[in-house]
Amino acid sequence: MTVMGSSARICPICNKPGSKERKWTRKKSGKRYDYEVFHHESTVHWVRIGANSPGRVEKDDTRKKLIGLLNTTGFRRAIFTIKDIAAEFEKGGLTTDDERLRRSLSKLVESGLLLIIRRNRKVYFINSTIRERLEYIMKRVDITLEDSADEGTFERHYFRTSILNDSEFPLHYIQFRATGDNVRDRGKLSFNSYDLSRKEKAVIYFLEDNPQLKRILIELREPILPNVERTMSIEYFWPEIGPSYMFTSPTPTDFFRFSLVSRGDFEMTVTRTNSGRTVVEDLSSRVISTTKKDNLNVETFEMVNLPAFAVLKFKWKRHEKT
């Protein structure tokens, strides 16, 4: 990333004065990507030079309403037209004019949340959040399950991951999937996500809200530019009744760590199944046991170069006090 210069200008997003920086980066294809950053007292707006501003809420918050509609269980369409959206807006009692709706859809296309195709002079939009392929690489994953209620259920889940944007476009959204052994209302999960690199809280939208499955979309306040790495955290509370936990990543991971933290005495085992589901390897000998202050017992497993779609399964047994 290169800074070309800065000056005071009127921001095209909010029409307010701010300090402007012109920057550029190099896409994976080798092409140059120019953009501007407008710094205000309490916020930062990012604008691609030569294009409409992607990923920002308009004053009438049409884009925010649109994201909410796309993520509802009643509108789980992979492909749709602007007329479909307008009809859903009217059905839900939401008001907006066609021009604002087109502008908001265009911004979601630029941000990567939607894709656009044209067939026989008709324009269709594709909801990219339904696709399985990620537009980034999880370079490092650090997961901690904490038995905060001291009941052996390890309900506090804390994820810390370093994400590399390996696409040619800025990354505005990150998907996350959580499952549980028992039925859990999303209000009791207390989902939180932070952009640790920028020390900012991220915005969370629910894509699926099933009793034992939650899929969320995390909106970054500042997009991750091509070939840039950012550290994110995700936290939620969901008891592991099992007692077991499984992890798999759709991308290769350079470094992986999993930890269990409890005041009780317990033992953890680990197995890895290859992506073809043909070989199961016992990795329990790699588990390291330590005791921290306040009598917290920690079981930790680490490995490097975890292949994509390999499955790690963690089991634990709590030793009852005698």
Q: Which residue has the tokens 């070309």?
A: 4
Peptide bond into 12 cis (omega under 30): no
pLDDT mean over 188-217: 87
Lowest mean pLDDT among 72-81, 207-216, 239-248, 278-287: 72-81
Instruction: Tally Cβ neighbours within 10 Å of residue 128.
Output: 18
- Domain 137-319: state its class: mainly beta
Question: In the structure, what pLDDT confidence band is assigned to residue 46 with cuts at 50, 70 and 90?
Answer: low
Question: In the structure, what pLDDT confidence band is assigned to residue 42 with cuts at 50, 70 and 90?
Answer: low
Give me the chain's average pLDDT, please. 79
Q: Tell me, which fold does domain 54-130 have in CATH?
A: Arc Repressor Mutant, subunit A (1.10.10)
pLDDT mean over 142-156: 90
Task: Give 310's contacts (C-beta < 8 A, 6+ positions apart).
Answer: 248, 249, 272, 273, 274, 275
Question: In the structure, what pLDDT confidence band is assigned to residue 146 with cuts at 50, 70 and 90?
Answer: very high
Helices (H), the chain: 62-70, 82-91, 98-111, 186-189
Lowest mean pLDDT among 72-81, 229-238, 296-305: 72-81
Kindly state the percentage of the chain with pLDDT values over 90.
25
